[in-house]
Amino acid sequence: MNICSVLLCAASGEEISVCKELDWQDHKKIRAHKNIKSAGEQSDRVYVVCDGWAFRFVLLPDGRKQILSILIPGDVITPTRLFDENVRFSVQALTDMQYCGFASSILKAKLIADLAFLDAWANLLVAERHHHFGLLIDLGSRTADERIAHLILDLKLRLKRRGMMVERSFVFPLSQRLIAAATGLTPEHVSRVMGSFRREGLIENGKGFLRIVNLPGLQRIGGLNL
Amino acid sequence: MNICSVLLCAASGEEISVCKELDWQDHKKIRAHKNIKSAGEQSDRVYVVCDGWAFRFVLLPDGRKQILSILIPGDVITPTRLFDENVRFSVQALTDMQYCGFASSILKAKLIADLAFLDAWANLLVAERHHHFGLLIDLGSRTADERIAHLILDLKLRLKRRGMMVERSFVFPLSQRLIAAATGLTPEHVSRVMGSFRREGLIENGKGFLRIVNLPGLQRIGGLNL
DNA sequence: CGCAGATTTGACAGCCATCAAGGTACGTGG
DNA sequence: CCACGTACCTTGATGGCTGTCAAATCTGCG
């Protein structure tokens, strides 16, 4: 048993005991801004974020990139690798990070043998799907303020679940350029919106961290209210 | 063996032989514009579209609706129902339609017993995920023309795979209001874009059908080029 | 110190939303 | 058969949110 197995279990919502026999195959470090995977590459490993942040993205022919998801420690980087050899997106380290890989053949064998593990993996995919629906609503129907507020609230929730918040503050290594790529906006406009959030006393943020000062206010803007 | 089982197999990309023992539990008809499912409802059935079109959507508190996916015959309406009792979205019939339901307990038992079926189901979820990524790119990074052209090309491809195209024409029951809800635009703007497509000789469309006149031209606008 | 990248701010433009009006098709009821 | 209502599509005028372009400031880093 090791830290990566624990993370994998945590990510899939499973009891640690389920994963006792799982052991990591690789354990890698990578520097910020390096690609972990590029779209189209093949691979026989499923990777899990152990430390640091990363993001999934697609590079468009005209140079713009659309971010599909932001990955924090405990997230599975390529959960569909078990069923699809081709990865349809690229993954880049956002900070210096560590991640570890599990051979998909071993995971898949376990998936079949262990019903609880299958359920856990399915729940992981379902949760991601639900998350993507939220993103679609943001990009399709909501204003810049709403998208950014929602992004912040979403990250807050996920970090809190993993015990990575202190008070109302958390590590926040996202550059405004990245927030822009995630929300479908331009960096300039993100700067304007974040600036107004700060002036209105909703948030405080400095180098690498963010603090939610007025949670109800932020929720009034970015809550999905579904 | 019946038409619904065949459709379910087709949808999951499986050989028909795999599904021989599956039998439908319900077979329902429903009129256009009626809801098949509402978000939050629980259900113990997985439904498959037999005839007609439908769409998944989320209703926002301010009354706008965002369409998440358009469903054509052969599509599984609630593929995650096997792992998640709560459905996070609503589904509405777009035309008069027929659909049938399979008890999720039976499907799930088959999933565990039959490796090929598990793979097929996983492929279905992976394909949907990939499709949602494409939508995210549209809504996040692309113009109105590109989104609409892409929507048309995507439907064309899916209908072609199911053998539902004649020449370059296909049934196209989407109102412009619905295209707007799917692409994150307003009906007025959709009308302008479709009008310009028509004037430029890219498409022809009348009541309930659409014909792609200039496929390369449309692909130049709406191809993802990934 | 010098450079590259991130953030901020301002001016301006454009895409698309909003508001409004009119046309067409279709179903219903008289 | 015709009046009428409803829903959809079309078109125009106007406005606003956000993108684009540009430049200044700041920061970290070699």
Is residue B14 predicted with pLDDT exceeding 80? no
CA distance B14 to B121: 9
The angle subtended at Cα B67 by Cα B66 and Cα B73, nearest 5°, is 170
Over residues B106-159, the pLDDT tens digits come to: 889 988 888 888 998 999 999 999 999 999 999 999 999 999 999 999 999 999
Strands B165-166 and B54-59: unpaired
Give the helix ranges, DSSP H, for chain A: 3-11, 104-113, 115-141, 144-161, 176-183, 187-199, 215-222
DSSP A173-203: ---HHHHHHHHT--HHHHHHHHHHHHHTTSE
Q: Cβ(B203)–Cβ(B145) under 8 Å?
A: no
Name A residues 155-194 whose Cβ lies under 7 Å from strand D: 184-186, 188-189
Q: Cβ(B151)–Cβ(B197) under 8 Å?
A: no
Q: Cβ(B58)–Cβ(A137) under 8 Å?
A: yes
Answer whether A95 touches B (CB < 8 Å). Answer: no
- Pairs from B163-170 (Cβ < 8 Å, separation ≥ 24): B164/B72, B164/B73, B167/B211, B168/B211, B168/B212, B168/B213, B168/B215, B169/B209, B169/B210, B169/B211, B169/B212, B170/B209, B170/B210, B170/B211
Which positions in chain A touch B89 (Cβ < 8 Å)?
133
Query: Residue B84 — very low, low, confident or very high, per pLDDT cuts 50/70/90?
Result: confident
- HSE at residue B181, side-chain half, CA atoms within 13 A, is 20
Six-digit token pair at B205? 């469309």
Measured in angstroms, what separates residue A191's CA from nucleotide C10's C1'?
A: 13
Is residue A8 predicted with pLDDT exceeding 90? no
Q: Which residue has the higher pLDDT, B216 or A166?
A: B216
Contact B125 A125 (CB under 8 A): yes
pTM score of the predicted model: 0.92
Q: Which residues are registered as beta bridge partners of B59?
A: B65
CATH architecture of A144-222: Orthogonal Bundle (1.10)
Work out if B131's Cβ lies within 7 angstroms of strand C. no
Strands A165-166 and A169-171: antiparallel
pLDDT of residue A145: 97
Q: Cβ(A147)–Cβ(A183) under 8 Å?
A: yes
Average pLDDT over all residues of chain B: 88
3 state DSSP class of B47: strand
The proportion of chain B whose per-residue pLDDT surpasses 90, expressed as a percent, equals: 61
Give the helix ranges, DSSP H, for chain B: 3-11, 104-113, 115-141, 144-161, 176-183, 187-199, 215-222
Measured in angstroms, what separates residue A178's CA from nucleotide C7's C1'?
A: 13
Contact A66 B136 (CB under 8 A): yes
CA distance A176 to A179: 5
Contact B61 A115 (CB under 8 A): no
Over residues B154-190, the pLDDT tens digits come to: 999 999 999 898 888 899 999 999 999 999 999 999 9
CA distance A88 to A129: 15
Measured in angstroms, what separates residue A213's CA from nucleotide D7's C1'?
A: 48
Comparing A103-107, A143-147, A172-176, B196-200, the range with the smallest average pLDDT is A103-107
A184 to A133, A142, A151, B153, B172: CA distances (angstroms): 15, 11, 12, 22, 29
Answer whether A115 touches B (CB < 8 Å). Answer: yes
Is residue A190 predicted with pLDDT exceeding 60? yes
Domains of chain A by residue range = 3-134, 144-222
pLDDT of residue B2: 53
Is residue B19 predicted with pLDDT exceeding 70? no
Over residues A15-73, the pLDDT tens digits come to: 444 455 566 667 889 999 999 988 878 888 899 999 999 999 999 988 889 999 999 99
Work out if B65's Cβ lies within 7 angstroms of strand D. no
Is residue A167 predicted with pLDDT exceeding 90? no
Query: Residue B88 — very low, low, confident or very high, per pLDDT cuts 50/70/90?
Result: confident
pLDDT of residue B7: 58
In this prediction, residues A144-151 reach a mean pLDDT of: 97
* One CATH from 3.30.360.10, 2.115.10.20, 2.60.120.10, 1.20.1740.10 for B3-134: 2.60.120.10
In this prediction, residues B48-53 reach a mean pLDDT of: 92
pLDDT of residue B43: 82
